Amino acid sequence: MRAFVNPAFAPEAVAAPSGDALAFHRALAGYAPSPLRDLGGGVWLKDESDRLGLPAFKVLGVSWAVERALRLDPQVKTLVAASAGNHGRAVAHVAAVRGLSCRIYLPARSVPARRSAIEAEGADVVVVDGTYEDAVLLAQRYAEGPDAVELADVGSSPSASWVIDGYATLFSEIDLGFDAVLVPIGVGSLGAAAARWGAAAGTPVIGVEPDVAACLTAALIAGEPTVIDTPGTAMAGLDCAVVSVAAWDTLHAGIRGTVTVSDAETGAAMRELAAGGLAIGDSGAAPLAALHALRADPACAALRDVVSLDRVLLIATEGPTDPVGYAATIA
């Protein structure tokens, strides 16, 4: 399905965004709001390609979740996480900053550059012969050991909720008004933070998913989180088979609709952004590809009819976290 209008949309039922992490983030060395880039034609892009020294937004959620975990248990020695790349690197980075050890589980199809970046942060990396969801299960088991805590952005653990609260900082930085916001989904943690902000601001939020990993669209159709097959996509951060339990209630009520995009469309969006001087990775470029579809594709007409696209904000979640793949795409 190319585009889906959420029949359960009820922004009045969405919880208010948390402001707990904002002061914490502002006190971190190197903190600065990520820039809003004016792409012209009523389109702006929030550029998360350099966030607290990392090339993706994930460190906002991770840093706050680690802070909350250590407040509860100062004896924690090891951070554990499953990741497709960016989340794991953020966990490893924060672990190093805070003097903790770290173990990251990666699915076998994660690209070597992302594995190497996580190892360079000092983490013990375990490559799982399976999917992201298989990696999640192994991370959960390892975190049952002494002095360890799982830093999840999926599931029902406390850390999954803390991650969503941490992402609220990204949206608190927005000081312009928009008619719609397009945000990549993945497991849905960032989408949930966007939906909370959108409900409070009166701004519809549209989720963007790979056409081969549209787990939120499947959940909205079914009325509950639904596991789907994921054959693989260049949008590694969005290659997820099921939405997070921690994010689901907010997504169910707070997302106006979804748009799916192909790897080819996202590649074209990456080249378009590169031509304008912006180096944005696959997952980060997906909202621009979705906007093009939403504006022009007849298959998106129903969703296009319920939102205004005069002033649109795209959340570009990452820079080129796979440099080799990025270079090949924009060549």
The predicted structure's pLDDT at residue 154: 79
Rg for the chain (alpha carbons), in Å? 18
The predicted structure's pLDDT at residue 85: 81
Torsion of CA 68, 321, 56, 190, to 10 degrees: -80
Give Cα separations from 257 to 185, 190, 221, 277 (angstroms): 11, 15, 11, 30
Q: Tell me: the pLDDT tens digits for 80-134? A: 999 888 999 999 999 999 999 999 999 998 889 999 999 999 999 999 999 888 9
pLDDT band (50, 70, 90) for residue 159: very high
Question: Does residue 155 surpass a pLDDT of 80?
Answer: no
pLDDT band (50, 70, 90) for residue 236: very high
What gap in Å lies between CA 164 and CA 60, rounded to an integer?
9
Q: Looking at this protein, which amino acid is placed at residue 93? A: H
What gap in Å lies between CA 255 and CA 34, rounded to an integer?
23
DSSP string for residues in 25-47 = HHTSTT--PPPEEEEETTEEEEE
> Do both 76 and 198 map to the same domain?
no
> Do both 129 and 177 map to the same domain?
no
Instruction: Choose among 98, 22, 103: nearest CA to 66.
Output: 98
> Do both 49 and 134 map to the same domain?
no
Select from 111, 128, 156 the last residue of a domain.
156
Question: Does residue 138 surpass a pLDDT of 90?
Answer: yes
What gap in Å lies between CA 266 and CA 283, rounded to an integer?
8
Report the percentage of the chain scoring pLDDT > 70.
100
Give Cα separations from 146 to 62, 75, 77, 137, 165 (angstroms): 21, 10, 9, 17, 26
Q: How many CB atoms lie within 10 A of CB 129?
A: 8
pLDDT band (50, 70, 90) for residue 40: very high
The predicted structure's pLDDT at residue 152: 85
- Average pLDDT value over all residues in the chain: 96
**Region class of 100: left (phi > 0), else alpha (psi between -120 and 50), else beta:** beta
> Do both 164 and 291 map to the same domain?
yes
CATH assignment at residue 280? 3.40.50.1100
Asked if 176 and 35 touch (Cβ cutoff 8 Å), the reply is no
Structure tokens given for 73: 């248990």
Q: Which residues form the domain of 74?
A: 59-156
The predicted structure's pLDDT at residue 205: 98
Structurally, the chain folds into a number of domains equal to: 2
pLDDT band (50, 70, 90) for residue 1: confident
The residue with tokens 């928009």 is: 178
Asked if 193 and 167 touch (Cβ cutoff 8 Å), the reply is yes
Give Cα separations from 175 to 5, 35, 178 (angstroms): 27, 11, 10
> Do both 52 and 63 map to the same domain?
no
Q: Tell me: the pLDDT tens digits for 267-289? A: 999 999 999 999 999 999 999 99
> Do both 285 and 312 map to the same domain?
yes
Give Cα separations from 124 to 84, 116, 119, 320 (angstroms): 15, 11, 7, 23
Over residues 243-264, mean pLDDT: 97
> Do both 134 and 180 map to the same domain?
no
Structure tokens given for 148: 């360890």
Select from 122, 141, 156 the last residue of a domain.
156
The predicted structure's pLDDT at residue 173: 98
Over residues 171-193, mean pLDDT: 97
pTM here is: 0.95
> Residue 46 phi/psi, 5° resolution?
-90, 115
pLDDT band (50, 70, 90) for residue 50: very high
> Do both 123 and 193 map to the same domain?
no
Select from 131, 156, 181 the last residue of a domain.
156
The predicted structure's pLDDT at residue 145: 84
> Do both 106 and 226 map to the same domain?
no
> Do both 222 and 286 map to the same domain?
yes
Any idea which of 13-22, 64-73, 80-89, 305-314 has the lowest mean pLDDT? Answer: 80-89
> Do both 80 and 209 map to the same domain?
no
Residue 315 bridge partners (DSSP): 46
The predicted structure's pLDDT at residue 156: 76
> Do both 25 and 81 map to the same domain?
no
